[in-house]
Structure 1
Amino acid sequence: MTIRAFFTRAVFGALCFTSLNVQLHAAEASSEPVSNAGPSAGWGLGLGLGVQKKAYSGADTRLKVLPNFYYDNRWVRVAGTGIDVKAGSLGAVSFALRTRLALGDGYKSSDADILDGMNKRKGSVWVGPSLLWRTALVDVAAEALMDASAYSKGTQASLSVAHSFRQGPWSLEPRLSMNWLSAKYVDYYYGVEAAEARLDRAAYDGRATLNLSTSLRLGYAIDKHQSLSLDAGVRRLGNSIVDSPLVDKRTQPIFGMGYMYRF
């Protein structure tokens, strides 16, 4: 086992164990969930626009426009395609059980020429513990998720560091992230089974890998209810994804815009 594999497995296990214990202690201490949020709920509606460029060779760049819903109270937080059930906090560290929809993952054989004859790969629902640690310098977020739909039977874990600079109605947030993907995840989405192989597409078994990304979010508060956001960045794909015969690029663009009205 490599040092990287040992580290990622250790982080994954420690995060799961820590979150489970916090949930148990919170349940023992009170019948009501503990949260840093106030008792009143906040919610909002918005619209998001994003550019999707998958790593598969010859895949088209797609523009996606999706409605966005936001809701936050003492027990639960819903934002976009994610749902967090709050599990209490320890000082500046808050914990949650996260459910995240990733229905845009995967592909159909018609999505690109290199995928012709491949079996369809489906998007999934991911579930697992998450944490957010707010410090005076940076916000540290982590999650460890498992494929609840059992399509890939994979796991993934991510760690990100961000800091928000604010000046009047403007905000600027640089973010650095790393996302570890298990061998089963990579094999399902980027592997090639023996029955799918052809002259220009050799059989390929995926291995665990680490993606790195950096992004910058620009926000503007129009008034106390309305806000705009712009995200731009780049993702560097791990070696075992780039080595796949289905993939012809090392990097992916990150770009999105959003509007939110908070009631």
Structure 2
Amino acid sequence: MKIRGLSYLATLTILLLTAFSAIAEEGKNDSSRWGFNLGIGGTVSTSEYKGVERLGTALPLLGYEGEYLYLRGLSGGVHLFKNEYHEVNVQLSYLPQHFYASWSDNSGMKKLDDRYASAMAGINYRLRTELGVLAATLSTDALGVNKGVMADASYSYPIRFANMSLIPTAGVQWTDVNYNDYYYGVSKSEARASGLSHYSPESALSPYAELTLRVGLTESWSAFVSGKSQFLGQEITDSPMVERNNKYSMSGGFLYAF
């Protein structure tokens, strides 16, 4: 039971840091002298896997924006090129996707193999204009866990008024055959043991939408709240491991810039 509780805590840390990455990026030009943001936040999320319950907790946050290095939630990297409009980075990101059979209340799912998190290494590009921010990332599994490739493209339009920033984001995530087969496929041996159907997915496109609100409380303190919805591709939702067509998460917290 203790191991399961620690796993839940790790999962929620990841989800909260994912939401925090938008805040760290948006706040890098604020009054922070050293480029650091430190705070605390909470999150609640759903899972696409059958029989896995909703999670929620409160956790610490840390972000950094420097001339050569950055830390934004789950991702950290080195700026290869950076000016007012363009940014090209070499990036290493923690991939939170995982499945632990013991978490599920479904008897068949309990007999499947665990799927583990990994790290993705790749190239990230950002274009900032008055019309918004375009971002694209291409990455591959750095640890050989899923042996997959992932691409992500998004558009954000920060809306600033008085002491508040509203950041709507729309994007799409592409995952290849290896990635989907590892996290959503059911092997023949697993099918025999669990009673679930054998399944081998192809690549998939999963669009998502996110809305983040940041409010400046003082020169150094700010608060944020963020909601995200991801609509899973058909190759994922057709998996016998999956019972939901989408994933939702809500996060909020307080940050101190220094």
**Distance in 2, Cα, partners of 1:71 & 1:228:** 17
Q: Of the two, which has the highest radius of gyration?
A: 1
Of residues 207, 210, 219, the one that matches 2:202 is 207
Report whether the alignment pairs 1:159 with 2:153: yes
- The 1-side partners of 2:188 and 2:57 are apart by 33
What TM-score do the two structures reach when normalised by structure 1?
0.81
Asked if the contact 1:125/1:148 (under 8 Å) is kept, the reply is yes
User: Contact 2:132–2:155 at 8 Å: present in 1 too?
Assistant: yes
Residue 142 of structure 2 corresponds to residue 148 of structure 1: yes
2:239 alignment partner, one of 244, 248, 251: 244
Task: Name which of structure 1's ranges 190-199 and 124-133 shifts more when overlaid on structure 2.
Answer: 190-199
Cα distance in 2 for partners of 1:47, 1:53 equals 21
Q: Is the counterpart of residue 172 in structure 1 residue 177 in structure 2?
A: no
> Partner residue of 1:195?
189
**Letter matched to residue 216 of structure 2:** A
SS of match in other structure, 1:171: strand
The superposition leaves residues 99-134 of structure 1 with CA deviations (integer Å, 9 ceiling, x where unpaired) of 1112x3211111112421111111011110001100
Shift of 1:90: 6.4
Mapped to 1, the partners of 2:229 and 2:73 lie a distance apart of 21
Partner of 1:70: 63
What is the TM-score with the length of structure 2 in the denominator?
0.82
Identical aligned residues as a percent? 25
Secondary structure of the structure 2 residue equivalent to 1:197:
helix
Match of 1:221 among 216, 227, 237: 216
Structure 1 moving runs of 4+ over 3 Å: none
Q: Which is bigger in relative contact order (C-alpha 8 A, separation at least 6)?
A: 2
Amino acid at match of 1:129: I
Query: How big is each residue's C-alpha offset from its partner over 1:155-198, in whole Å with a ceiling of 9 and x where there is no partner?
Result: 10000001011111111111101000011111000011111004
Query: What are the ranges of 5 or more consecutive residues in structure 2 without an aligned counterpart?
Result: 1-27
What is the alpha-carbon distance in structure 2 between the residues aligned to residue 91 and residue 225 of structure 1?
24
| Mean CA deviation greater in 71-80 or 178-187 | 71-80
CA contact (8 A) 2:89 2:123 kept: yes
Deviation at 1:91, TM superposition (A): 6.3
Equivalences for 1:1-263 in 2 at 5 Å? 41-89=34-82, 92-102=85-95, 104-112=96-104, 113=106, 114-198=108-192, 200-263=195-258
- The alpha-carbon deviation at position 92 of structure 1 amounts to 1.6
Secondary structure at the aligned position of 2:93 is classed as strand
Does the 8 A contact of 1:108 with 1:115 survive in 2? no
Deviations 1:215-234 (A, max 9, x none): 21111011121111111132
Whether the 8 Å CA contact 1:235–1:254 is kept in 2: the answer is no
Aligned to 1:116, the other structure's residue is in SS state: helix
Aligned length: 225
- Preserved contact between residue 52 and residue 64 of structure 1 (Cα < 8 Å): no
Unmatched 5+ stretches in structure 1: 1-35
Label 1:207 to 1:65 Cα distance change in 2 as closer, same or farther (>3 A): farther
CA RMSD after TM alignment: 1.8
